[in-house]
Structure 1
Amino acid sequence: MRIKKIEIEGFKSYSQLEVVDKLDPQFNAITGLNGSGKSNILDAICFLLGITNLANVRAHSLSDLVYKQGQAGINRATVTIIFDNSEQQPAGYGKCKEIIVRRQIIINGRNTYQINGTVATNQRVSDLFRMVGINVNNPHFLIMQGRITKVLGMKPLEILSMLEEAAGVRMYECKKLNAIRIIEKRDAKVDEINKLFEEDILPRVERLKKDRENYLEYQRIEREVQVLERKFNAYDYHNSQLQIKELENKAQTFRQQITQVVKEIDQLQQEAKREEENLRKMESECAKNTAPEFQKLEKLLKEKQSSLAKIESEKDGKEADFNELLVSIERKIESLTGDRQHLETKRNYLANAQSENGTVEQQGLSAEEAVQRARLRLEALARGMTTDEQGNAVTLEAQLIAARTKLSEQQTNSKKLEMQLSQSRKVIEKKRLELATFKRRSSGDHESKRKIETEISKIERDLHSLNFDPELEKNFEAERKLLSREHAEITRELDNFEARYYNLQFNYKDPYDGFDRKNVRGVVAKLFKLKDPKFATALEVVAGGRLYNIVVNYAEVAKVLIDKKCIQNRVTMLPMDKIEVRGVVSKRQIQEAKRMVGDENVFVPRELIEYEPELEPVINFVFGNSLICLNMEQANLLTYKNQNVNCRTVTLNGDDLNPRGILTGGSRNHKASVLSALHDVFGKYERVSQINREQHSLNAKLASLRPIQQRFEDLNAKLRDHKHHLDAVVTALKSNPVEVLTEEIGRLEQEIKDLNETMENVLPDIERLKQLIRELEQQKKDENFHENEKNNAQRELDNAKKELERMKDTFGSAKERLASLREEISLLEQSIENDRKELAQLEKLRDEKNTEIEKFAAKVAEANESVQHLQDDMDKYNQDVRLKDKTLRTKAAEISEFKKRISQLKNKQLSNEKDAQEAIKNSKEFAKRAQQLERIHRWISEEKENFGLRNTEYDFTDFTFDIGKREIEQRKDRIKELSHTINTKAMHLLDTAEGQCQELDVKRSQLVKDKKQLYDTIEQLDERKKRELIAAHKQISNDFGSIYSTLLPGAGAELVPPAGAENCLSGLEVRVAFNGKYKDSLSELSGGQRSLIALSLILAMLKFKPAPFYILDEIDAALDISHTENIGKMIKNHFSQSQFIVVSLKQGFFDNANVVYRIQFKDGRSIISREENNRQ
């Protein structure tokens, strides 16, 4: 890998880029005067190779390597070397014919390497050069000034270090030291792991094992408590059931005895009659007391309803006016739209007519103008005058004077234009010269401007490719706000509605995260929609309490909601998978009912509503057992008179007839009907669902827009930054002489262009005026001029009249048609403008009326609320009356039963009745206890069949309440004791700790294994290094003696271990002999002899393991001319496989080089020139 080219810029004395090009692959010499910068080239090579000791390149810091330390406006030093890699030596670079290494330092900045244009680390560059035997920090290929004398002063170990570098084992030593340091670090890590094992992990594992045992015991006892409590509760329930049966048998015995006493029935009937009379008196008194209050409420309600009707009437009138106004606005808009379309059609007609008849019209107008011109000319000639170019009547003399004046003016303008052109051309040439000068100085700003403009174009293309409209996001947000506002308003209305009809509300909380709310359908009343509101009351009576049941998809869902206590109120659940529909009216019954009263008089409830098909079981369960009729007569006929129908029937007024003989009904308040009110707001529920879907869609659209919007905003911000930067650059350029001169040159070029165009217009005008003057002078001299002109004018007039007469028909019709279209268009435009103004006035009036309607709507809502409050008071009053009535009847029944029981007790077995009451009381208590247990523990209803069976978990043999309580308390005491020390996370923590323990043990074993492998490898490599060094010592010592005897005939030299050493591994010393006799010390030699010894040793090492290139810096300084020539010849003849770059001041040395580079120092910087040495 040889050096082909060196580029130096800003390094030491090389302020500008200097290139050492076309280096000879064998022998290159660098020469020049002292201080010219010869050695700086070698320093640049060492700098690129990564030298760390800056003293070797005569610098204290990296900033010293920059030209004048950055004080001359140069703040960076750059060295680039191109290596010939045709031999493909370094591993990993086999495909590279050239390797380009570049190093740059910046004052107060970064220090960077690049290999083939890619940024590289210092270590990567160092490894690259070491792979080809180049280590600049311990170089055997580099012999700098003073290195010769340093070699002679080296100690045995330093000479051994040179031998190691030459043998190629020095890099191994570095790697070995690094490996040993890593092993030491790993040993510390192993110690740390062992300490962690002994002090932390193992004690923690033991502690967690104990915690796990306690936790497992805690769980076991908890399970035992649960089993015992379950068995205890089962025993309690089983015992209660046994007691109930026993007590019921006792009570039954007593009742059988009491029923035998029937002798006192007549007496009891008389007493009942008297009690009924008393009750009637009580009812009469109650009616008298409550009548005034009822009349007062009824009167107030009628007044409020009358006031409400009046306000609603006024509101309806306003809404009717408003609707009429809306119709007027709509008609006006339709009229305006039609006029605009008509206007557009007329304009199209006009355009087509102009394209068809425009030429005819223009020709007719031209013919009229020709007739007019001919008449004016003839009239002027009749007065002894003529006409000018504009058709004005003037004399020939006046025309001649005007033409001469105009000619004089144009000739003056022509001369002025020529002078201005000449002056402008001189100025522009001068400015162009100045511009060329300044352009060479300021090309950087223009390049920066061009780059910024390119980047701006790219950003604008990216923005365009996004195809993003910023207004779209704003529109979506505005639409979402409108929907949110509408949703809030409707929700508020629905909340008020549900507050009035609280039974329609069903609120619950999710039993667990991820609960699917779709499995809860909701209240039955909200799951269908009335087809006709008149059936609301009848359907409400048919459904009864089931109207407020809660529908769920699965029984498991209902169970979870109840078990998790997710529902605040007591409700009845209808699981769709468990519904059993019974007593549904059959098709035969329906057909028979229609036959009896007519199709139009009987209705099937489920056919009067709309619902989802999957809700069919629920609808049948709620409505399936009844029919609806118009009146009581029809209902009575179907329910009681025909056994083929014989089903429950409900009238439109809400009368309920049951085949079992039960009849309920009476006056009902239709306004209070839940289904009727629900029908009125059903559309609002649907609107809320629709708004939710639209909001979900909008949110999805906004979410999809956000990445594009973010990209759009980022690009916009980047575009603004670039434009701001461009403005700054443009401003700087405008103040720049280049920009100012460019602008002035552009202005001058435009000025010259304008002057030329003006000149081109002036010159023909001058010629025309000259010709006109000649013609006028000739006409002035011609005596028959006026007569001839009159004849010509008369002919022109005749011809123009003929042409106009010829075109009269076509021209007239075209002109009339076009004028008519233009008039229609004008009228339409005026009509549209008037309609637009009227529309604006109507829209203003619409807004005013809308405001009035909103005010009336508020009044109606307020009046409605007052009426509703009074209606609620009436309902409450009626309910209180009914409750009182019920109380009286209940009281009467209780009195009758009491008297009956007294009569029985007086006549029969007073003591038995007391025992019966006690048995019944105890039975009820046990039944209540059993119900309570069954309600609390729902598993009892499933498992009670197994209670008391032997060999099961409910085997109650030898089990009592005391035994069960004692065992449960003992285990709970143990649980309480364990709960203070229990660690519920012990299982998880133990698994984690054991995993960490195992992982650390594996790592520790691996570390020990890796350490052993490393030491085994080091031992093998040390042995191989020893063999390599001994072999290298033998060969280098022989070459050392041979080279020295060649340079100094009769002398000899060798490398030997120090006294007492077995081999070269302890170090090496130099011995020199003259005529076979070895010298005791090198101090006995002359300076030249010592230099030759050092040089011979270095060359011997170079010969042992040749490097790709060698650098020699004035190694011949202490040698005379003959030895210098010998060294040059020896290098050329014996080191033909390596490249030498030498610095020398002696002619005899560099005369042997193939290429000589001469260095000169001019204008404060070094300059390089190349010469090829053709001397043989």
Structure 2
Amino acid sequence: MKKLAEEARAIEQQKTTVEIRIAQIEFEKKRAQDNIERNQAEEEKLRQEIELLNSEIQTLTPAVAAMERKQAEAEQQVGAAMSEVETMDALWNEYSSIANEAHLSVLALKSEERSIVQEKEYTASTCQAVAAAFDQRTEEIFKAKEDIGTIAADLEAIAVTLREAQQEYDGILEQKKTVDREFSLKRGQIHEIELKLKDERLKQEGSLKSAHDLEIKIQELTMKAENLKARAKDDFDIEITPKEFPDANEYDFTAAREEVRTLKEKVNVLGAVNFAAFDEYKSEKERLDFMSAQRDDLEQSEKTVLETIEEINSTAQKQFLQTFELIRENFITTFKSLFDEGDECDLRLDAEELDPLEARIEIIAKPRGKRPTSIDLLSGGEKTLTAIALLFAIYLVKPSPFCILDEVDAPLDDSNIDRFARILKKFSDNTQFVVVTHNKRSMEATNAMYGVTMEEEGVSKLVSVRFNEVEKN
């Protein structure tokens, strides 16, 4: 048996040597044919040149010598070409015997070539179909990008509106502070005016009291005057009588003089009177009413802006919580499909943060048999599968027709690669996945594989294989 195995290996080596020799002969045969065809073309060309020269000799006598030299050179070239042709014929005769022996192998290669040509034609038609589908998908992607651009523009407009509202709110707050300061200033001025009015009232009361005292004093003086009249009558026998005036009965000069004196005293007591105080009070009152109306308007505007911000925050929180709940449910389902049904996973918001938009998201992943306190304690493959589960959970909320994955399976072992392939097949009904990978098991799970090879240096070539078509064939 050992001897037979050695003989078989020797035959295989001889077969390999013969195949290499056949390939060399085919190459040399092709090169010889190319040289023969090239020499024949040159010979034909030289013959045509000779005929052209002969015709030119008859018409161009002065250039006969030059033409003869060219003819001699052409004949030399023809002779060299003929010698080269003879050499090629000798090589052809030498290789013909070897080529006949390899004829059967050539026929087999030609049949394989025909099959390759057929496969190439099929691949070309498939590439056309893929190109059409790619163009369609490209158009859909372009439309999706336009939609994304529109949504981004809307979001930018909302953000600009929100910033403008915030700026308006800040301006309103600043105006409110200014109005509050003016209001406080006017309130102080009004307080000062009220104090002045109070002082004036006190002065008026004092004036009234002074008038009452003066009336008592007038009565006392009147009594004194009567006493003086009586004393004048008694002591000096003089009758003191007041002089009568035509309007004496209508006008009381004494009272008038007393009133004038009293008023002068009151004026002296009051001092300088500010006759513009009432007008100033009225003007300041109108200014206070205007400032109060502005303050009320600013407070209403502030209230409206705060209500708008509250509504925006409420809507954003509501949509975020709804989307987060959908992602959480998809994450649990996808995680269990990648791991086992008994494994635990969850997405939680930080309970200490009141605003869910600012809350930290905690990712919990506990494969069976492990109780890690943090996701950082998982292995590299488990972290990758958890990330894939979260990626598909987010993707399921708003799927797209195309999904490109760049070497996401690099940290996975063979068993996890199979799980990854299963979930791709599960979602491939509605989405076309483009996976960049170097893993053989991932390649086996695909429907079509595209590779780039370089048969010649500096020339890249795209090679594609559709496994479902290969299985049918």
> Where on the TM-score scale, by shorter chain, does this alignment land: which range?
0.3 to 0.5
TM score, norm. by length of structure 2: 0.38
Determine which structure has the larger helix proportion and give its number: 2
Structure with more contact order per residue of length (Cα contacts < 8 Å, sep ≥ 6): 1
TM-score (norm 1): 0.17
